[in-house]
Structure 1
Amino acid sequence: MAPLIALGLSVLPDLARLLFGETAGTVTSRVADIVTTVTGESDAAAAKARLDADPTLASQLRIELAKIAAEAEGARLAAEEKRRQSELDGLREEIRDREGARGTMQALGQAGSALAWMPAVTSGTVIASFVAIVILLMTGRGVDLQDQNKVAILNIVLGALVAAFTAVINFWIGSSSSSRGKDALVQDVLGRQAGLVDSAITRATAAPSAAAPAAIAEVVRSAVAATARPAAGPRPGAFDRCVEVVLGKEGGFVDNPRDPGGATNFGITLRVLQTYRAALEGGSVRPLTAEDVRALSQAEAREIYRALYWNAMRCDDLPPGIDLMVFDFGVNAGPGRAVSLLQRLAGAKVDGAVGPKTLEAVRACHGPDLIDRYAREREAYYRGLPGFGEFGAGWLARVAFVRDAAKRLAAG
């Protein structure tokens, strides 16, 4: 098994980081199985010979290994999200406990009970003791700093008072605001996980073609991270249904000199194809030409759409119909613009990255209404482009077609 695993690592070096920890056993076994299945050889030397002789077979193996990496990374991120959620639940429970204590104190005060003064008296005593001990340690008055036993006792007392002082501050003024801050921080981190993918794609596709290979090694790794799913998992068949619509509108090979996208096949431009293949090769691949775009297979185009668009925008987590609207616009105008438009229409924070808050806002919207508004905004975007005079009729027809298909999906 070890030689087969080594061969898999030579094809996709990123797998190395998954061969340690809790997932090591599962990943190593699956890597060996995939190498054997794809090459048809159980001997590592024979499998390598087949890969060297058939570049298409090597590309297929890279894609299958990337799927393993995606699933393992998704499981890791899901576990991390679960851990963060557990911490948030603990913080919320702590807030409820403290608010309950404050409510009890308020009720005692309204009833005129002397017990209502106990929290204030206790807090005052703790604060006064803390300040006194600090002053004694700073000035040395009344304390023999050469007596190590007394200094040790003072340090122990000071440590206890620091904990008590912190609890007092949290009880009176600190817990709610600090917990809200931690909650917001965690939500921001979750949103940024998805945002990493979009920003990586944006940087890669914005780079000059000669510099693109060195700039885009992180794209597939980011796309892998974006495959983390909620506990419910992806909706079976959602990607296949939506990509059929996109492929139907994109058509085959086109190389219109007036189209800023240049050579395109199945809607995949030369720049995007270079981005994807360079990422699979670890950032280094020969410069591609229009002929490489012409030779692009539909199977590879689907994998590009899944990794760089569908997963990057977390379309599996969007409601039926909305997923198609966002996916198609992302393919046509970029993932960042497509997600930002969705966030603006749903009333979420506009940052170009689909996170928990965006999903919550989208699910709260009426699906058909959101689809109509998204289509109108998309039409307005096209009308403002310089090429609208020549390509506008086709753009608007595509919007209408996708809007109707999205409504059918939303209606089940």
Structure 2
Amino acid sequence: MLQPRVRSCLLGLEVFLDRWVLAIYADGFLNVWDLEGEGQSRWANTTIHPDQCASYTSTFDTTSLRVTLAVVASRILPAISRKAMVYEIQLSETCAPTFNVICVFPLSASSSTARRLDVSKGLLAFSQLCTISLFRWPSNHRDDIFESDSCNIRTYQEEREEMYTTIHTLEFVGPYILVLKTRSVEIHPIPPQFCNTNTPCTLPTLRHHFRKYSFRDFCVAQVEKNGDDTYVVKFLASDVIQGLFFFSSTITIPSNPLEEPTLHVDLVYIHSMIPSIPVRRLKQNEHALQPSDEASGSSGRLVLNTGHVRSPFFVSAFAMGPQGMRGVWIERRRGTMAKHIVTCRFTTETEEEGEELLGDSEAEAGLADAPILLDGRVVHTLKSPDLNEDLMHCALGEVGGIIVVGNRSGDVLLLDIGV
């Protein structure tokens, strides 16, 4: 367990270069641990007290070892107020991390959740339901936002279903904002006054609809730029009923203004909770998830046609490395209080020799393009009936395989077991 633990009510965890761990607490405390530091240099913290932290987003610059963190600070008494606070956290290999406030500015009720920031553009993106609020954060520590420094972008809204198709994650992709929603992926052009690229201002809005899934959370890898006009974004999505889904999306923005941009979203891997989804599985998979003891009985187990045994589970948290090559999730199987920490690798080649098709026998024909079964490996199991020890958060160091998890009571635990 990482010490000291200042507060409970953990809001989120981040890992940088397999060495520094950032923990954000809902009661306003921000902690950074240096896993290789000693004594006073091992830990640093700050607080936004008496405000509470409602949401946050961060980005990391590997060259300068600088974390840029934006938090939404809220207060109820004596009056309801909301503001954005942008920090620079300077990491160092020789001394303790330091926190510096870049700017603070007020927020309206429509800017409820911090989603993404882009340091190069100086942009902060918030969302509420299906609306994006875009801000250019103040320079020179100004505490005011002019009207020209902000705008709202309305995304697609299905009639009477806004509460069920809300925005979960945003990502800046060139002149676009990638919007990940409950039932769709959308790309919306950044307004020209906020975009410093030479791309034409008349970019269209594109959408990919999820017809069979309803996602409640996403984890996005770093944007990959291939050539001058193609971007690849990998993301892991959670459907609480059907399981985990790994997608690769490709956005092509031609330099020729006469050519239309394109958005392609491919489902590559599935860690399925139900047996009816047809998938492929590699015969040789050293990371295959073995059936748990709870699934060995006849009651409640799910068996695919090829004999692959699975038991119903619930994913309480998941994370993916910044390169989109490794993942980790925390699941609980039916009929047990044990929490399993499961890891996996996302291979780059999806067409490998020795693949075996799993699924309904009547649907096997013509499923050469079916997604691959995302098998994981249980690396740690925590058995406890105490709800305070439920694992609610996790983060992953992709290079060395360091896993950091956080429980309901605010403890942060380090698992140096690799993936």
Q: TM-score, normalised by structure 1?
A: 0.20
User: Higher strand fraction: Structure 1 or Structure 2?
Assistant: 2
Structure number, greater radius of gyration: 1
Relative contact order higher in (CA < 8 Å, ≥ 6 apart):
1
User: Higher helix fraction: Structure 1 or Structure 2?
Assistant: 1
Q: TM-score, normalised by structure 2?
A: 0.20
